[in-house]
Amino acid sequence: MTVYVDLLFGLNTMINYLLLRGSAALGGCPAKLGRLLAGACLGGLYAVAAVLPGLEGLQGLVCQGLCAALMLLLAFGWKRSTVKQGLFFFALSFALSGVVLLAVQVVEPDCMFLGGRAYYAVSTPALLLLAAVSYGVAALALAGCGVHTGGEIVPLSVCLGGRTARLRALRDTGNTLRDPITGQTVLVAGGQVLAELLPDCGVSREQLHNPAALLPELADRYPALRFRLIPYRAVGTEAGLLLAVRCQVQKKRGQEEMLVAFSPTEVSVDGRFEALWGGAIV
């Protein structure tokens, strides 16, 4: 059997990226594209090296575990939450393996052997489709597992356009709002935070109730800022939109760029906090 190194590397890299991206989304962990791609490429290189003549020893469980650990460190960094992301990564990997095995048992393709391991004649598009299906299955099975319990209030600093707003954020397990593009958790702040960051914008609560009309006005007035709309669902609301903008958020262990959405209503009745956070604050 002929093995094409470029196809083996490309396919494994794509699958690894989907698995790492899925584990980040399930665990509510902010992940950068470059780090995810680095981890995925390492897995692709390992897949190629493991089938080269003379390197069959890399196929052992110890080497596989070391490679997976290095992939996770590259993708998520050296921090406590990486352990949790690793659990989701392995759960998605097992889900993908199970879905592929089920699919090949249904269609009964020919079984081939490479390096003492069984390989099935599944095309690249079909395998990528099965990866997406396995992610959906795992997401349903693991829904809620990646959310921390507790309701502590933590201090944050939000920077936008040279101004900084210091606020308190409640880690709310019921807040699952995410960026639909990256899957990153969105910080939901009250309208007074926007007024503090842009004191000359003059945005009222009534305007925040209609963010679609407000967006073009702010985009013209602040072209350097990246305002956008975030869809959301809430109790008593079929669907809605929130005005959002990318800010620099200073957390306990560093600073990162993330989306901050502004609610037209106060997020706290008694004023104990000014923002809601749905993921892990690290």
Contact (CB, 8 A) for 41 and 13: yes
Nearby residues of 29 by Cβ (< 8 Å), 6 or more positions away: 23, 76, 81, 84, 85, 279, 280
In the numeric block, the tokens 């709309």 are attached to 229
Residue extents of the structural domains in the chain: 5-141, 153-277
User: pTM higher than 0.75, yes or no?
Assistant: no
Q: Would you give the end-to-end CA distance of the chain in angstroms?
A: 48
Summarised one tens digit per residue, pLDDT across range 179-199 is: 787 777 888 888 888 888 888
Structure tokens at 138: 């795992």
Residue 6 identity (one-letter amino acid): D
CA distance 160 to 277: 18
Reading the chain (282 residues) residue by residue, the pLDDT tens digits are 455 666 778 777 888 887 888 777 766 666 678 888 888 898 888 888 887 777 767 777 888 888 888 988 888 888 777 787 788 788 777 776 666 655 555 555 555 544 444 455 556 666 566 666 665 655 555 555 544 444 467 788 999 988 898 988 887 656 678 878 777 788 888 888 888 888 888 888 888 888 888 899 888 988 888 898 988 876 555 568 899 999 988 877 678 888 899 988 877 767 788 888 765 444
Fold of 153-277: Cathepsin D, subunit A; domain 1 (2.40.70)
